[in-house]
Structure 1
Amino acid sequence: MAQMELIENYLSAWKRLDSSLLNQVLHDKVLYESQFVFEVLLGKSAVTNYLKQKFIAIKRENIPVLAEYATYIDNPCMVLTQFFIDDGMSGDDPNLIKEGITKSGFEYSYRESVILFGFKDEKISRINLCVIPGPSETKKIDNIDLRNEKIRQLENSI
């Protein structure tokens, strides 16, 4: 598979919250690192199990997530936006939390991160979820801004 197609499949897994879609795109020895997770995950099984649990939590809490295809220094990447109600208990660095308010006065919070990829043997071999580089340093490929729709979904779920 081409790199773009691999990332599109990874995006689909996030958009559908379905970790089974990752089996065909992840290298057996994939490495997953995140600036939000203290442990490095190694291997397809560890990464898919971690994301499966994350997707289950997102579904259970009915948390809107926005996954967008982008480039960083001409390399394909993904921008991930996770919306939530900020109760001050998340443990996140307050500098990483962004807030907004809709026209109807609904307050929301969200955190954006960039997912950088490495490739080997026509599979994703490395996944780095980070805030540096940040989304403002990427160029989004999708011209459709779904953030407003996700905010409406969050508004309706409360």
Structure 2
Amino acid sequence: MKTNNHFSKVEILKIYAACWNSLDSSKLNNLLHDAVEYNSMWVLETIVGKQAFIDYFSGKLNTLKLQKANTQIEAKLFMSSTWTSHVLMPCLVITQQFQNGTTQKVSLFIEVENGLITHINLCDMNFVFFEFNLN
């Protein structure tokens, strides 16, 4: 639900999922804080700043578009807790299925302040303790 002209964390995650599912990052751009921080287990350094993240994420999705014949992506909204925080919170579970039959699942958590994403954390599903689908 929109409050004070801001989207909720769940609404923002739904928009984020739509970006993954359509391989189009543009809907997310106006929901990023200028100093957004992106952390991933697969990226060595924290990506800091709105434009740096936009460049990274749009580049990643463009790469996936080129590989579309070899991989399928699906992002869904879940409630989950992690090994470090046993509090249920909304997150995305992103599934990437490769043509060779292997599948990789990752979880994506965000922090939101005044309707803008301030932190994005992408981690292996092994760090997710409990989940249930909200879709």
**Shorter-chain-normalised TM-score: which range?**
0.7 to 0.9
Corresponding residue for residue 85 of structure 2: none
- Aligned-partner residue type, residue 66 of structure 1: E
Matched, 1:69 2:77: yes
SS state at 1:13 partner:
helix
C-alpha deviation, 1:82, in angstroms: 1.1
Q: What residue ranges of structure 2 are gaps of 5+ in the alignment?
A: 1-6, 82-87
Report the aligned-residue RMSD: 1.4
TM, length-normalised to structure 1: 0.71
Matched, 1:112 2:120: no
Query: Matched residue pairs, number?
Result: 120
Q: Percent identity?
A: 29
1:19 to 15, 22, 25: 25
Q: Which has the higher strand share?
A: 2
SS state at 1:129 partner:
strand
- State how far apart, in whole Å, the 2-side matches of 1:26 and 1:140 are: 25
Corresponding residue for residue 119 of structure 2: 126
- State how far apart, in whole Å, the 1-side matches of 2:12 and 2:20 are: 13
SS state at 1:18 partner:
coil
Q: What residue ranges of structure 1 are gaps of 5+ in the alignment?
A: 86-106, 143-158
- State how far apart, in whole Å, the 1-side matches of 2:41 and 2:133 are: 21
Larger Rg: 1
- Aligned-partner residue type, residue 137 of structure 1: F
Regions of 4+ moved over 6 Å: none
Q: Which whole-Å deviations, capped at 9, do the CAs of 1:97-137 have from their partners, x for residues lacking one? A: xxxxxxxxxx5011111101111121111110001423x62
- State how far apart, in whole Å, the 1-side matches of 2:25 and 2:49 are: 14
Corresponding residue for residue 35 of structure 2: 29
- State how far apart, in whole Å, the 1-side matches of 2:30 and 2:11 are: 11
- State how far apart, in whole Å, the 1-side matches of 2:17 and 2:32 are: 13
